[in-house]
Amino acid sequence: MTRPAMAGDLLLAGELVLVGEVERPSRLSVADLRDHWPERTAEVTFECATSGSRHHTFHGPLLREVIETAGPGFDPTRRKDRSRYLLEVTGEDGHATVLSWAEIDEDFGNAPVLLATALDGHELDGCGSQLVVPTDHCGARYISGITRIRLGTSG
Ligand SMILES: Nc1nc2c(c(=O)[nH]1)N[C@H]1C(S)=C(S)[C@@H](COP(=O)(O)O)O[C@H]1N2
Ligand SMILES: [Mo]
């Protein structure tokens, strides 16, 4: 089982908390991400404004499956309800980005967004999971060293 997240928890290196509108807020290490969900592979190319074209191979679970395990606060049978939700992903340096739930929902964008546990064959246990958004042309949402994922609603 994964561990519940408590207010004031001190995170160990490489851990993240999954919080917000979920029934079971949880604290997840990279090893947890590797052990509890099916592993996917993504071979991606993205553009960085400062370092040009980047090519990487990532392994890790689908973000959607990890969030589903935590019990998202929406009514799963209602597409309009699901379409109101947002995911905020924050890295250890404070760099943060937002995805809509609909981007990764199978009935909407169905983007195969991963929470990487390995980058180009290097396990990410020490530095933390990285967000992988294969549908993005730009690298800015590939947040590394993820410390927090928050599910919330618009408005
Ligand atoms: N935590 C964090 N993740 C980040 C960034 C950052 O500033 N902080 N920059 C992003 C940007 S702009 C790019 S292009 C990619 C670059 O990843 P790479 O250098 O591993 O190819 O990381 C992304 N992830
Ligand atoms: Mo970038």
Give all domains of the chain, ordered by start, each with its CATH number: 11-153 (3.90.420.10)
Q: In 10 A of CB 93, how many CB atoms?
A: 10
Q: How far apart are CA 32 and CA 52, in angstroms?
A: 33
What does the pLDDT read at residue 5? Answer: 85
Closest C-alpha to ligand 1, atom 18? 54
Q: Is 48 in the pocket of ligand 1 (CB under 6 A)?
A: yes
Q: In 10 A of CB 9, how many CB atoms?
A: 14
CA of 58 relative to ligand 2 center, distance in Å: 17
Both structure tokens of 88: 């905020």
Q: Is 93 in the pocket of ligand 1 (CB under 6 A)?
A: yes
Q: pTM for the full model?
A: 0.96
What does the pLDDT read at residue 1? Answer: 58
Q: Is 16 in the pocket of ligand 1 (CB under 6 A)?
A: no
Q: Is 91 in the pocket of ligand 1 (CB under 6 A)?
A: yes
DSSP secondary structure string for all residues of 70-105:
H-BSS-TT-HHHHTTEEEEEEETTS-EEEEEHHHHS
Q: Per residue of the chain (155 residues), what is the pLDDT tens digit? A: 578 887 777 889 999 999 999 999 999 999 999 999 999 999 999 999 999 999 999 999 999 999 999 999 999 999 999 999 999 999 999 999 999 999 999 999 999 999 999 999 999 999 999 999 999 999 999 999 999 999 999 76
CA of 6 relative to ligand 2 center, distance in Å: 33
Q: In 10 A of CB 47, how many CB atoms?
A: 13
Confirm if 144 and 132 have CB atoms less than 8 A apart.
Answer: no
What does the pLDDT read at residue 154? Answer: 77
Q: Is 95 in the pocket of ligand 1 (CB under 6 A)?
A: yes
Q: How far apart are CA 146 and CA 108, in angstroms?
A: 25
What does the pLDDT read at residue 89? Answer: 98
